[in-house]
């Protein structure tokens, strides 16, 4: 009995000391800094308890209405600044990019799951700049982008043929389109079907990763000591899962790299991003283990960063066209007037199709593909608008709120491409959602031009060749799908029914001829 009392007394003392520590940690910033306004926190939890289980961007937007476009919050012990306006994002993440380009410590994804060699998770520094230079050279130089055009055309025509043959497999066709382009560019490997080993490895690794949680949002990210919890302990399921995912990630990164390396040794390698980096490294000296890890990460991130987001944008485009047949009809009329029926749209036609340009912009605005992006981290103390921003703060850019801002987009929940036609050129440029959805500053998506041109080419060619409409039920009544999106890092439309058919027999003949020319 006495022993129990001593134990209870010690436990109570320890708990009291822990509570005092967290209260002290909690209040010291408030005394030291003049912080931006935000919701009232509680000790230990901070503002975590005020966030719903999903669609955090909506709660952050509500905070914006109450506290302003920069909102200070605490996620457990981590200070966080939520940015809800383009102006504030540009002021901090672009004009002060040297301070705002770091990443928080992604313990789950980077340290436990093995995504530590990809640029999206790298800390700001020499290694980050090395990866970024590689990817920028591959996806921003005009000669590089021009070299991808044949692949983009070929995979667009394969996609169209698939839609003509099996329209019910829409999502599979979109997945194959995005995967085939990136795998060929990254590794020089042609994809025939989604059963390809590289695709299965990549999809399994990315699927298991996404289902395990978002970057910088898991408990272990806020309490690093949990990283050292033994796997056998109750509550360590996240470590056991992370260990399984890490094996998948390693196979995803290692398998195509070794394939390219072997092909180069035998003289049979096709041109690719990986082959170019290997050759460049060999020419400058010995290929080290660190070099290999960097090349694997730089190539591997292309798949994860491009396929999921591009697929989500294209699926959103199809959903919007099903829900708004008047928009689709107007886009078809523009294509028919400018292109005619003797050929299909190509990159050189883009400037002559202004309404289609508005449709693409509205697709990106209506369903922002990555609502919150990946969080940044401020490297040192800063001051903005008279407020202090503490060093180490997590910077969360609410891209969704920026694309739903009523100041720029009236009735933002409504899909209306004409809104961009109604703007003068200066306002249209400022309000272009492409200035937002690809991120800000030195962390902006380096593949923006490639992704944008790929989406445009597919949309233009679908409009030129296919009729899209609502499915009808057994009694002949139209079935109108919901404009509903799956919560998560990337915003995908929920599965929806639609009717896709070639506009004419001539389309089928044209596609058959193009498949014969571009057949991989």
d(CA 85, CA 88): 6
CA–CA distance, 476 with 67 (Å, rounded to integer) = 50
Q: Are 398 and 64 in contact (CB under 8 A)?
A: yes
- Rounded distance, CA 367 to CA 89, Å? 19
Cβ atoms within 10 Å of 137's Cβ, excluding its own: 16
Q: How far apart are CA 414 and CA 404, in angstroms?
A: 10
Q: Which two tokens stand for residue 79?
A: 């200070």
The packing angle between helices 289-323 and 354-366, to 10°, is 110
Residue among 391, 400, 414, 344 nearest 371 (CA): 400
**Is 469 part of any known ligand binding site?**
no
Report whether 123 contacts 103 (CB < 8 A). Answer: yes
Whole-angstrom distance, CA of residue 494 vs CA of residue 485 = 5
Return the closest-CA partner of residue 399 out of 90, 104, 86, 54: 86
Q: How far apart are CA 328 and CA 332, in angstroms?
A: 6
**d(C-alpha 264, C-alpha 258), whole Å:** 10
Contact 373, 441 (CB under 8 A): no
- Count of residues making up the chain: 520
Task: Print the SS3 string covering 261-285.
Answer: HHHHHHCCCCCCHHHHHHHHHHHHC
The sign of the CA dihedral 253, 254, 259, 260 is positive
**Can you list the alpha helix ranges (DSSP code H) found in 412-503?**
418-421, 425-430, 434-437, 448-465
**Can you say which residues are annotated as belonging to the binding site?**
445
**Can you say which residues are annotated as belonging to the binding site for heme?**
445
């Amino acid at each position: 009995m006495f022993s129990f009392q001593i134990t209870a007394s010690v436990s109570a003392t320890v708990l009291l000391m822990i509570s005092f520590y967290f209260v002290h940690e909690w209040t010291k910033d408030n005394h030291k800094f003049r912080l931006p306004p935000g919701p009232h926190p509680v000790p230990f939890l901070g503002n975590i308890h005020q966030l719903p289980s999903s669609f955090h961007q909506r709660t952050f937007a509500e905070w914006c209405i109450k506290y302003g476009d920069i909102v200070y919050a605490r996620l457990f012990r981590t200070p966080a600044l939520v940015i809800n306006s383009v102006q504030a994002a540009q002021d901090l993440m672009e004009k002060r990019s040297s301070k705002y380009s770091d990443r928080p410590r992604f313990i789950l994804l980077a340290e436990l799951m093995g995504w530590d060699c990809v640029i999206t998770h790298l800390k700001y520094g020499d290694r980050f700049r090395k990866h970024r230079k590689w990817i920028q050279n591959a996806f921003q130089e005009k000669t590089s982008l021009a070299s991808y055009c044949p692949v983009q055309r070929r995979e667009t025509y394969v996609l169209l043929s698939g839609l003509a043959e099996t329209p019910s497999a829409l999502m599979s066709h979109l997945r194959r389109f995005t995967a085939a382009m990136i795998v060929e560019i990254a590794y020089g490997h042609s994809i025939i079907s989604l059963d390809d080993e590289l695709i299965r490895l990549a999809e399994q690794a990315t699927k298991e990763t996404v289902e395990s949680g978002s970057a910088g949002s898991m408990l272990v990210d806020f309490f690093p000591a949990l990283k050292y919890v033994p796997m056998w302990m109750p509550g360590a399921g996240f470590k056991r899962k992370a260990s399984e995912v890490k094996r998948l990630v390693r196979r995803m990164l290692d398998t195509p790299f070794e394939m390219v390396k072997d092909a180069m040794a035998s003289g049979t390698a096709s041109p690719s991003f990986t082959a170019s980096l290997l050759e460049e490294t060999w020419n400058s000296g010995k290929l080290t283990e660190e070099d290999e890890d960097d090349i694997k990460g730089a190539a591997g991130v292309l798949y994860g960063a491009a396929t999921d987001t591009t697929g989500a944008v294209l699926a959103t485009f199809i959903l919007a066209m099903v829900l708004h047949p008047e928009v689709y009809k107007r886009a078809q009329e523009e294509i028919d007037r400018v292109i005619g029926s003797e050929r299909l749209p190509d990159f050189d036609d883009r400037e002559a199709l202004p309404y289609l340009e508005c449709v693409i912009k509205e697709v990106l605005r209506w369903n922002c593909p990555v609502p919150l992006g990946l969080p940044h981290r401020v490297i040192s103390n800063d001051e903005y608008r008279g407020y202090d921003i503490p060093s180490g703060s997590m910077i969360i850019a609410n891209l969704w709120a920026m694309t739903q801002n009523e100041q720029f987009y009236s009735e933002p929940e409504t899909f209306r491409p004409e809104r961009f036609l109604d703007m003068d050129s200066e306002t249209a440029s400022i309000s272009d959602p492409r200035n937002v959805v690809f991120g800000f500053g030195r962390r902006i998506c380096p593949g923006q031009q490639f992704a944008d041109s790929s989406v445009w080419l597919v949309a233009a060619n679908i409009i030129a060749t296919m009729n899209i409409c609502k499915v009808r039920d057994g009694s002949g009544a139209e079935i109108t799908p919901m404009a509903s999106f799956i919560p998560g890092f990337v915003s995908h439309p929920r599965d929806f029914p639609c009717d896709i058919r070639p506009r004419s027999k001539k389309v089928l003949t044209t596609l058959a001829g193009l498949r014969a020319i571009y057949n991989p």
